[in-house]
Amino acid sequence: MSVATAEIRKNDKKPRLRIGYVVRQREMGIVLALVVLVAYTAINQPRFLGSQSITDILLNTAILAVLASGMAVVVITRHIDLSVGSVLGLSAFTVATVMQDNQGLPMVAALGLGLAIGAVAGVVNGALVHFGNVPALVVTLGTMYAYRGLTYSWAGGQQVTADEVPRHFLRFANSALLGVPWLVLIALVVIAGVGLMMRNYRIGRELYAMGSSPHAAGLAGIRIARNTLVAFVISGALAGLGGVLYASRFGTVDASSGNGYELQVVAAVVVGGVAVFGGSGTIWGAGLGALLLTVIGSALAVLDINQFWQQAIVGALIVLAIGADRLVAVRIARSLRKRDSHV
DSSP class of 49: G
pLDDT of residue 63: 94
88 by Cβ neighbours in 10 Å (0-12 / 13-18 / 19+) ranks as: buried
pTM of the model: 0.85
Single-letter amino acid, residue 204? G
CA-CA distance, 124 to 201, in Å (whole number)? 25
Query: Contact, 125 vs 139, CB < 8 A?
Result: yes
Helix axes 51-76, 182-200, angle to 10 degrees: 30
CA-CA distance, 51 to 271, in Å (whole number)? 27
Cβ partners under 8 Å of residue 90, min gap 6: 117, 121, 147, 148, 150, 151, 240, 243
Q: What are phi and psi of 316, to 5 degrees?
A: -65, -40
CA-CA distance, 220 to 222, in Å (whole number)? 6
pLDDT along the chain (343 residues), means of 10: 40 46 64 85 84 88 94 93 94 92 89 95 93 90 94 86 86 83 93 93 90 82 89 96 93 87 90 82 90 87 76 75 66 59 57
Each residue of 232-254: pLDDT tens digit? 999 999 999 999 999 999 988 88
Three-point CA angle 287, 293, 294, nearest 5°: 90
pLDDT of residue 329: 59
DSSP 225-262: HHHHHHHHHHHHHHHHHHHHHHHHHH--EETTTTTTHH
